[in-house]
Each structure stands twice: as structure tokens, then as C-alpha cells.
Structure 1
Amino acid sequence: MPFAVTATLSMLVVLGIMVLVHEFGHFIVAKLCGVRVEVFSIGFGTRLLGFRRGDTDYRLSLLPLGGYVKMSGENPAEQRTGDPGEFAAHPRWQRMLIGLAGPFANFILAFVLMTGLYMMHNEVDQYLSGPAIVDFVPQNSAAAHSGIQHGDRIVQFDHDHNPTWEQLRIRAALDVNSTVPITVERQVNGETQQISTHLFLADSSKDGDFDIETMLIPRFQSTPLRVQHVESGYPAQKAGVKDNDYILSVNGVELHSTPALVAYLQQQSGAPATLTIKRGTQVFPVTVHPIWADDGAGHMGYRLGFNAYLPPFKVEQLPFPQAVKHSVTFNLHNSGYILDVVHRLFTRHSNVQQLQGPIGIARQTGEAVSMPGWQPIIGLMALISLNLGIMNLLPIPILDGGMILLLLVEGTLRRDLNQQLKERIYQAAFIVLILFFAFIMLNDVSKLSLFSKLKP
């Protein structure tokens, strides 16, 4: 099946599920509060098919990129009839609960998806259970000042002898903000030597989530880094790097993972780098010029513009309590990342062009369903569900957060806002959202390879 078809179908299915869950949240709480629901629709526009049960018309509409629940009397332009089933006839706290129910349903979906995934198919990087071999040590880090070098094998870390990376991470978290003895094994002129030193584990994270791998980047695999996909218009493509190329070294330094490569590029401050590429039986150098750009998760840095194949991993099935714990951690961390991106956008510390619309989502879902296993697509669905929930809570009229904001304002004033004022607010917000959506669509289209040659 062509990728475009796979991407389109997968996007429609994923967004359909997200919207169904979101609108069901509004629907079920509205019903529990006694609000009459006139329409429950997946999609917008012309009604294609459906059925009516009670007061509600359940329908599938023409444009499958969204959906809605229409409650009686929820439109500010509608005249109130005094019907107790109308949305506006209910207390503000009930209307707020109905507004919160949609995003909350998306959060529950993300939690359930990841809990189920961890119970059935939890992928764990193999390097965690292997020897603690260092792939790269950032310059001017505490590890570099302690004399640790790339290629060193850690044979003692505090009280642990021959630790695995998993054991080392746990011990480092316990020893944070203290100095620990460390012994490494190193090849010097063909001979194996052991060198002992001390390492201060300073916690510079803002949230107290210390990670030893920021100063000691592990060797995730013994094989070279392999390119999975080269992004159009980025330095890697311009230098001639292609999908499935192996990167044997960067400026003569052997690096085996994306984190090691990224750390090295930051250390070089964007200077041109020579990559030694292996393509089939050919080995040749190429020169790339890194650019300062967003990595897609709100983090700025020097980039080459490619995705690498994941390092080797094994599959585990976690018991329910551990699966719940991992799911909560996943969703909290990624919610924090999403909020950070939103904050950067509003404070102009990040480029709005990094946002993706339906075309970008289709590309991601297409790639996810093309990958082996369930983890890529389930993880992506959880992230999309989190995004949908958080974005709908933004205090923008028409969105759930905007409705809740207006209800809070009315509650503070102890009276309803003027109907004409609310109509104007919703109309203005609708125009802004349509223009914003059009911009995102154009931004999506401009990223297609068809237009890449038009860019400088």
C-alpha cells in the first residue's frame, strides 16, 4: 500500500478515536447533569449516516478531522426558552464539569493506552543490562574534569562493582549532589589499565530529576549509528546523506547514538563536521553544516536533520502496579514537555512553524504504523491524546478552556455576560482559529518534499 494511503487512513482512524473519546467525555457528563444532547457527531459538515436514539442524533459527518457534541441552548446566539434541559439552564459548576470532561477523557485514554502497553509490550533498551561503557563525555562536564573519556568501561561506581547502566543510574540517583569514587577500565597502547578518580554528581535539573546520562552518555550499541530517515531541506540531506547510511564517525570520533551525536554537535558550537559514511561497500566522507533549530520537542540546538534507527531493545511485560507507575510517569513528563512548548510559543522562544497539522500528523501516524510492533503507534496515540486534552484547555473561546474561562468570569461577576458580547468574542475567536488552522496547513504543505527544492 502506498505510504500516502497508509498515512491518510491511519490519521483518520487515530483522530477518529481521539475525537470519539473526547466528545464522549462531554456527552456522558452532559447526560449525567441532565443536559439534552441534540447531536453527537464524528466529523464536521454534511451528515453521511447515523441513527437517532432518544433526543440525540448520533452521526458520522463528511469531514473526519474533528467532531462535536451539540447540546441544547449551548450557543450564545440561541434564545433561552427556560427548558430545564438546556445547557445554559444548568449551574455554572455543572457546565464547567461538562467542559472539563472532554480533555479529562483524553488524559484517561492516554493513561489507559500506556498502562496496557507496559503490561503487554514494554520495550527496554538492551544497554541498560549490559556493561557501563561510556560513548561520549561532554566537554567541561564534571565527568570530563574527572578524567573520564569516551570508550571507558566503568568497573566500579561507589560501592557497585562492574555495574550495569541500570544499576549505575539507580546508584547515581541515590548519590546525587555528592562525590563518589569511580574506577574505569581503559585501553592504553593496547594494554588494559584501570584508572581511579572521583566524580561529583551535581544536580542541575530544575525538577530534581537527576540523570547521570547527561554527563556520561552510554554506548547504546556496539554498531555505528544508522540513518532511518533524512529530513528534507536540512544539512544532512544537503550534504548527500541518505536513508540507511551508517555514520562511522564524526570528525574522527566514533559515536554510537543520537544523544552522543547531539552532545558532540553542541560542543562544537555549530562548526562544520566531517561525517564518515558507509553506504553498502562504499566508505566516504561528507561535510555537513549544522543549523540551530528546534528538535520537534521544544528543545533548541544544533541539528543535522535525520532520524536514526532505535538501539537494540528487549520486550518485557510489567505487572499492573508497575505498569500504572510507568504510565503516570510517561504522561506527566510528556504533559510537561507539551506545556513547555506552548509556553515557548507564547513567549516567542520557539518557532510556530514547528507545529503540525493534519498532514504532519498523517506523516507521523503513517511512519508509526509502518514500524514493527505496537509501541510506536500506541505511544503516538497517547501523545496525540495528551496534546488534544491540553490544547482544548487553553483559555481560548470556542475551545473548552475558553468556555470555562468565561464561566469563571461570570461566576466572579455573579451575573451572565451580555449575549452580544459573548457572540462577538466567539466570532472573533472562530476567525482567529480558522486563520491559524490555515497557517498550520500551509506550514504542513511547505514541508513536503515536493516543495523542498523551492527553499534556499
Structure 2
Amino acid sequence: MTIIIGIIFLGFLVFIHELGHFAASSLSGVKVEAFSIGMGPVLLHKEWHGTDWRISLLPFGGYCAMKGEQDFEEFYNGNTAVEKDSFYGVKAISRAFIGFAGPLSNFLFSVFAFFVIALIGYTYYSAGNTIRIATEEYPELHSAAADAGMLSGDKIIKINSKDIADFSELYTEVASHPDEDIFVTVDRNGEILNFTLHTDMNKSTGEGKIGVMSDSASLEAREAQRYGFFPAIGRGFYETFNLIYLSLKGISTLFKGVNISESVAGPARITSMLGETAKSGFSAGFKSGIVSVLNFMALISVSLFIMNLLPIPILDGFLVFTSIVEAIFGLKVSPKARNVVQYIGIAIIAGLFMLALSGDFHYFSELINAK
């Protein structure tokens, strides 16, 4: 059941992405011949308004098949028979718009998700911002906080000038700065002290850590701030841009010795995690379920936004890049060069996919062994 729930939500994000391409194609005058959720053999389909709407066997991915999308060579060779309602019958800037519309839809969904969360608010549980030095209980660990002179009982009130109200905010701020210098302000029995410390990096997750623990006795329910309608929209954009920044930063940690098989999730693990998030969230209450699912879906949506804008053939980013170059400079990629680059792109995507699958295999193997 968990997997089915995950597939439904993941399928929805794919639908949002492909719907962006569909809308942009329609606005640009390009006929969409088929629209599919899923890949591979078609299970169900129905033609409506000139488009064959499909549900296909493999639940990961989808496509928006446009008229004349494969007529690249004819277009390059100046074939005047290219029809006006086909993909290469419209201007280059329109093709760039069509390519960008899919990732843009994922971006806008993330904004919407964070808008809803900011609007309705939520309850979360967190300890306070008073810390314990981890090495006092686990001597084998390293504590950057202890090295800097911090003590158990210190209350962390700022990290990099950002106010810290509880341990959840402390964790989030430290986790987003792996292997970096951070500036920490603490309240020690009414005395304000400042420390500079260099975070360690968790090799399994790529997150930063400073070797501190929370005071479990201070755990309590806390209310996230609720926003009015228009401030909530602003919050939606802020959280989305922040998530894009953190995602790009997270990608950079892959080159710092992170265990990729543990930190990179493939489609199976993402589906499982999404299903588990929905299941556990809604078991705690309807609002909690909505917030949990929207948070996770926003994360995946931003990942789709970033990934699809990479200038790699078979991804939207390559179409956007080449179409903009053509629109500005009048340069077209020759069929021969396009084919060579496309084979390279396919090899890169296949390699990343195999890497993600190996990560999934490692994750589920450990899960089974733990049981």
C-alpha cells in the first residue's frame, strides 16, 4: 500500500511537469499527439480534443508527444514542408518556451505547496535550543562545538546571524553548512558569547554536524508561524528558492567524499519514502498529513526542476539551451552533432540512473537485514 500511495503522488508530479509542456505547446500552436503518465506499453488511453491521453505500464516518468518532434533533420535541411502546427514549425523562442514550461510547472507547484503550508500552519515537536556536548555521552565522536569551547548547557541563539528558537532550527541550519566555518552565538547563563567553528560532514547524508545533542527534557509541541494570503505567497517563493539553493549546495557535496550509494535516492526509494511520509503524516492527523506530503512533494518537485534544466540531451535543458542559441544567434545544431551529443547524454543519464538504482538496492538491502 505504501508503494501504491508513493506511485500516485509521484505520478501527480510527473503529470504537473508534462501538463506544463502541454499548455505551452497549445499556447504556441503546436499539436500534442499523445500525453502519457508513465512509460512503456499503453494500458489505457482515450482520444480527446485531438490528443491521445494515456496511462502506461511503467509508473516512473511520462511524456508529451508533439507533432513533428522527430523531424529535426528535415528542419535543419530547410524543408519547407514542415507543418505550421508541428514542433519545428514554430519559432525557436517558442520551442524554448515549450521546453522550459515543464520544469517551470514543477517550480510553481513547489511555490504552491509552501504557500499552502504557510497559510494553514502546523504543529511540530522539537527540543529547545539548549545543547549537550555529544562527546560527554559518546566519547568516540568528534565535537566541533567542544573544540571551539562550547559547553553543555549553552543555549544557541544565533547561527550565521540567523535567530535559532529551537533544536529543529539549529539542526536545519547546521545541516545546510557541511564542512564550512559557521558563526555561533550562545547564551551562557546570561552571558552572550560568540564562537567560530568548522562543521564536520556526515558522509552518509552530506549534512553538516557540530557534535551536539538536544536536551530531551525540553521536547514540546510548537506552532509554526501562520501567514496571511499574500505573505504566504511570498513565503512560498522564499522557501522554493531556498530549497533550490540547498539542493544545488547538496549536489556540490557529492564531490567532497559523500557516500553516493547512501545519499543518492533512486525512483524506488523516493516512491517508498513518499508513501511512508504520506502514511505516517496522515496517521497523525489530516493537517499533519497535508503538510508532510506537500513538504516532500515540494522537495521532489524542485529536484525535477533542477534536473530537467541540465543542458543534457533528452532533458528539457538541452532543448531550452539550443533553442535560445538559435533564437539569438541563428545557429542550429547539425543532425550529426546532435546525434553524437545525444548519445553522450543518454550515457550520462543511464549512468546516473544505474547509480541511483544501486543506492536503492543498498538502502533496501540494509532495511531487510535490519529486520
State the TM-score, normalized to the length of structure 2.
0.74
**Residue deviations 1:13-51 (CA, integer Å, cap 9, x gap):** 111110000011111011001111111111111121122
Give me the whole-angstrom Cα distance separating, in 1, the residues matched to 2:9 and 2:25: 25
TM normalised by structure 1 equals 0.61
For 1:50 and 1:78, how far apart are their aligned partners in 2? 30
Q: Which amino acid aligns with 1:92?
A: A
Deviation at 1:79, TM superposition (A): 3.8
Structure 1 SS opposite 2:146:
coil
Offset at 1:135?
2.0
In the other structure, the counterpart of 2:85 is 85
How far apart are the structure 1 equivalents of 2:103 and 2:65? Answer: 17
The amino acid of 2:60's aligned partner reads L
Change (3 A) 1:90 1:151: same
Q: Which moved more, 1:374-383 or 1:432-441?
A: 432-441
As a proportion of its length, which structure holds more helix?
2
1:360 aligns to what? 269
**In structure 2, what is the Cα distance between the partners aligned to 1:338 and 1:87?**
32
- Whether the 8 Å CA contact 1:122–1:318 is kept in 2: the answer is no
* Structure possessing the higher radius of gyration over alpha carbons: 1
Cα deviation digits, residues 220-265 of structure 1 (max 9, x gap): xxxxxxxxxxxxxxxxxxxxxxxxxxxxxxxxxxxxxxxxxxx8xx
Candidates 344, 350, 358, aligned match of 2:253: 344
- Find the partner of 2:153 among 145, 151, 159: 151
Give the aligned CA root-mean-square deviation in angstroms. 3.8
Aligned residue among 409, 413, 425 for 2:341: 425
Are residue 106 (structure 1) and residue 106 (structure 2) matched? yes
> Residues of 2 paired with 1:427 and 1:333: CA distance?
34
Q: Does 1:406 align with 2:322?
A: yes
- 1:313 corresponding residue in structure 2: 221
2:80 corresponds to 1:73: no
2:295 matches 1:379: yes
Letter in 2 for 1:357: G
Gaps of 5+ in 2: 76-80, 134-144, 159-163, 170-182
Query: 1: CA distance between counterparts of 2:39 and 2:320?
Result: 23
Supply the distance in 1 between the matched residues of 2:324 and 2:341 (Cα, whole angstroms).
15
- Identical columns (%): 26
Superposed, 1:154-169 pairs within 5 Å as: 165=165
SS at match of 1:48: strand
Cα drift, residue 447 of structure 1: 2.0
Which aligned pairs between 1:193-212 and structure 2 lie closer than 5 A? 197-200=191-194
- Structure 1 equivalent of residue 45 of structure 2: 50
Cα displacement string for residues 323-346 of structure 1 (whole angstroms, at most 9, x for unaligned residues):
23433332222111111122333x
Give the one of 299, 308, 313 matched to 1:392: 308
| Larger RCO, structures 1/2 (Cα 8 Å, 6+ apart) | 2
Change in 2 beyond 3 A, CA 1:198/1:153:
closer
Instruction: Summarize the Cα distance change of 1:349–1:122 in structure 2 as closer, same or farther, 3 Å threshold.
Output: same
Match of 2:96? 96
Aligned pair in 2 of structure 1 residues 152, 66: CA closer, same or farther (>3 Å)?
closer
Specify which of 131, 137, 150 is matched with residue 135 of structure 1: 131
Decide whether aligned partners of structure 1 residues 301 and 127 sit closer, same or farther in structure 2, where only a CA change above 3 A counts. Answer: closer
- For the structure 1 residues 74 and 350, does the alpha-carbon distance in structure 2 shift closer, same or farther, using more than 3 Å as the test? farther
Q: In 1, distance between residues paired with 2:348 and 2:131? A: 48
CA deviations on 1:94-113 (whole Å, 9 max, x unpaired) are: 11111111111101111111
Amino acid at match of 1:55: G
8 Å Cα contact 2:204-2:259 kept in structure 1? no
Q: Which runs of 5+ in 1 are unaligned?
A: 158-163, 170-177, 185-195, 205-213, 216-262, 267-291
Deviations 1:248-307 (A, max 9, x none): xxxxxxxxxxxxxxx8xx6xxxxxxxxxxxxxxxxxxxxxxxxx74353x335599xxxx
Change (3 A) 1:368 1:423: same
Q: Which amino acid aligns with 1:21?
A: I
Partner in structure 1 of residue 365 of structure 2: 449
- Partner Cα separation in structure 2 for residue 199 and residue 314 of structure 1: 27
Q: Distance in 2 between matches of 1:165 and 1:340?
A: 24
Is the 2:30–2:67 contact (alpha carbons within 8 Å) kept by the matching residues of 1? Answer: yes
Does the 8 Å CA contact 1:76/1:422 hold for their aligned counterparts?
no
- In 1, distance between residues paired with 2:362 and 2:335? 41
| Distance in 2 (alpha carbons) for counterparts of 1:17 and 1:151 | 46
Instruction: List per-residue Cα deviations over 1:385-434 (Å, max 9, x = no partner).
Output: 11111111111111111112222343465232212321332233224323
1:114 touches 1:378 (CA, 8 Å); kept in 2? Answer: yes
Worse overlay, 318-327 or 105-114: 318-327
Residue 74 of structure 1 aligns to a residue whose secondary structure is coil
- Counterpart for residue 232 of structure 2: 323
Letter in 1 for 2:131: D
Report if the CA contact (8 A) 1:294-1:300 is conserved.
Answer: no
Residues 115/418 of structure 1: CA separation in 2 closer, same or farther (3 Å cut): same
Return the letter of the residue paired with 1:24: L
